[in-house]
Amino acid sequence: MTDLHSLSGLRSLEIIDFEKYEHIPIHIVGLGAVGSKAFEQLVCLGARHLVLHDFDTVEHHNTHNQLFGVGHVGMTKVDACLDWVKYKYGDQYVGKIETFNHKVTEDTELVGAVLMCVDTFDGRRAVIQASIASQGVGIVVEGRCAPKFFEVRTINPFNTEQVEGFLGSLGDDSTPDTHVSICGAPISFSPVMSACGIIMVGQLISALKNGGVAPSQEHLNIFMQPLLMVGGQSLTGEV
pLDDT confidence band for 232 (50 / 70 / 90): very low
- At 24 the pLDDT is 93
Would you say residue 23 has pLDDT above 80?
A: yes
Average pLDDT, the chain: 81
For residues 232 and 69, the answer to whether their CB atoms sit within 8 Å is no
**What length does the chain have?**
239
Enclosing H/E stretch for 98: strand 97-100
pLDDT confidence band for 48 (50 / 70 / 90): confident
- At 234 the pLDDT is 41
> Considering the entire predicted model, what is its pTM?
0.84
List of domains in the chain: 4-223 (3.40.50.720)
- Pairing of the two strands 136-145 and 26-29: unpaired
Closest C-alpha among 114, 182, 179, 183 to residue 150: 179
Which has the higher per-residue pLDDT, 9 or 1?
9
Ranges 101-105, 108-112, 113-117, 190-194: which has the least confidence: 190-194
**Can you tell me the distance from the alpha carbon of 123 to that of 106, in angstroms, rounded to the nearest whole number?**
9
Provide Rg for the chain, Cα atoms: 18
Q: Span 11-27, mean pLDDT?
A: 84
Q: Give the tens place of pLDDT for each residue, 116-160.
A: 999 899 999 999 999 999 999 999 999 988 777 788 888 999 989
In terms of Cβ atoms closer than 10 Å to its own Cβ (0-12, 13-18, 19+), residue 213 is buried
Would you say residue 31 has pLDDT above 50?
A: yes
Q: Give the tens place of pLDDT for each residue, 159-218.
A: 898 899 999 989 888 765 555 444 444 555 678 888 889 999 998 998 888 876 555 555
Which 3-state string (H, E, C) describes 107-154?
Answer: CCCCEEEEEECCCCHHHHHHHHHHHHHHCEEEEEEEEEECCCEEEEEE
- At 228 the pLDDT is 43
